[in-house]
Amino acid sequence: MVRIFGPLVGLFFAAALLWSFAVGAIGQIREPDPATAPKTFHLPPKEDVAFSFDGPFGKFDKQQLQRGFQVYKEVCSNCHALKQIAFRNLTDLGYSEAQVKTIAHDWQTKAKTFDVKTGDAGDRVNTPADHIPPVYYAGTGNPPDLSLITKAREGGGHYVESLLTGYTDQPAELLKKFPDSKTPDGLYYNPYFANLNIAMPPPLTTAGQVTYSDGTKSTVPQMASDVAAFLTWTAEPKLEKRKQTGWAVVLFLIAATGLAYLSKRNVWADMH
């Protein structure tokens, strides 16, 4: 039975597939898939910035994370939330507990409260145990929560850095090839953004926009890579611990596997 029906079923699927192939191939010859502006002009993230946390020995640069946090706080946090991060987590950046308390206390958006006796809503100052309060945004577009943005985009920190420094005028060549693809009003051309037109206005525009407390000169590329580093930390705060543990685990396993190999050879010595 199998030997009769098997080949028939095989030929049935093969025929259906070749039919689909023929229809698809003829369609492709008659009317090839049209080129689109995003397909032609989208760029993969630049990799020219070297981050301290890259590579198997990578570590966060705490000074840089603090600068990045400052950029987030003074620029990004106007529109973007960071809900996975609690103020207490900021001690990872090298802030003391007292400093974290102050940062939480002085945070512009207050924590919401609800009085169960009266039903009244109110607010109070943030404490280190609170997460960074949500951001409500009424303008164009949907600013995503940034907690995991470097893990949610191909290229991670490089993507963020490229996007922030990648704003430019729409190339004349693009408009020549795709006259219908002019960037709509209210959007901004950025070749690192998936569909080339992003609703976010260029957030980092001028050197000195943020005054770094550690005296580093805040050029636009500097601020962009600092905030990219900070957002890598928010997405993967255990990165350093992961890599350090990894070394211990892998070195142990290599040694153990070496011993296992020797004992295997010993056991099999008289069998070959």
Partner 1 sequence: MSFPWAKHYKPSHPLMVWFDEKLPLPRFVYNAVGPGFPVPRNLNYAWNFGVLAGFCLMLQIVTGVILAMHYAANQLVAFDSVEHIMRDVNWGWMLRYAHSNGASAFFVVIYIHIFRGFFYSSYKAPREMIWLLGVVIFLLMMATAFMGYVLPWGQMSFWGAKVITGLFSAIPLVGTPLQQWLLGGFSPDNAALNRFFALHFLLPFVIVAVVVLHIWALHIPGSSNPTGIEVKTESDTVPFHPYYTAKDGFGLGVFLTLYCLMLFFFPNALGHPDNYIPANPMSTPAHIVPEWYFWPFYAILRAFTSDFFFIPAKLMGVLAMFSAILVWFFLPWLDTSPVRSGHYRPMFKVFFWVLLLDVVILGYCGGSPAETKYVLISQIAATYYFLHFLVILPIVSSIEKPQPLPFSITESVLGSDATAAA
Q: Which residues bind partner 1 (CB under 8 A)?
A: 2-3, 6-7, 9-11, 13-21, 23-25, 27-28, 33, 56, 83-84, 89, 144-145, 147-148, 151-154, 194, 235, 237-238, 241-243, 245-247, 249-250, 253-254, 256-257, 260-261, 263-264, 266-268, 271-272
Rounded to a whole number of angstroms, the minimum distance from the CB of residue 70 to partner 1 is 22
How far is 146 from 164, CA to CA, in rounded Å? 14
Rounded to a whole number of angstroms, the minimum distance from the CB of residue 265 to partner 1 is 9
H helix runs in the chain, sequence order: 2-30, 37-41, 62-74, 97-106, 157-165, 172-177, 220-235, 239-268
Q: Rounded to the nearest 10 degrees, what angle do helices 157-165 and 220-235 cross at?
A: 150
Which residue lies nearer to partner 1 by CB, 81 or 210? 81
How far is 78 from 136, CA to CA, in rounded Å? 9
Which residue lies nearer to partner 1 by CB, 33 or 169? 33
Rounded to a whole number of angstroms, the minimum distance from the CB of residue 68 to partner 1 is 18
DSSP 8-state secondary structure symbol assigned to residue 131: B
Cβ within 8 Å of residue 157, ≥6 positions away: 49, 51, 150, 225, 228, 229, 231, 232
Which residue lies nearer to partner 1 by CB, 14 or 207? 14
Which residue lies nearer to partner 1 by CB, 77 or 234? 234
Rounded to a whole number of angstroms, the minimum distance from the CB of residue 190 to partner 1 is 16
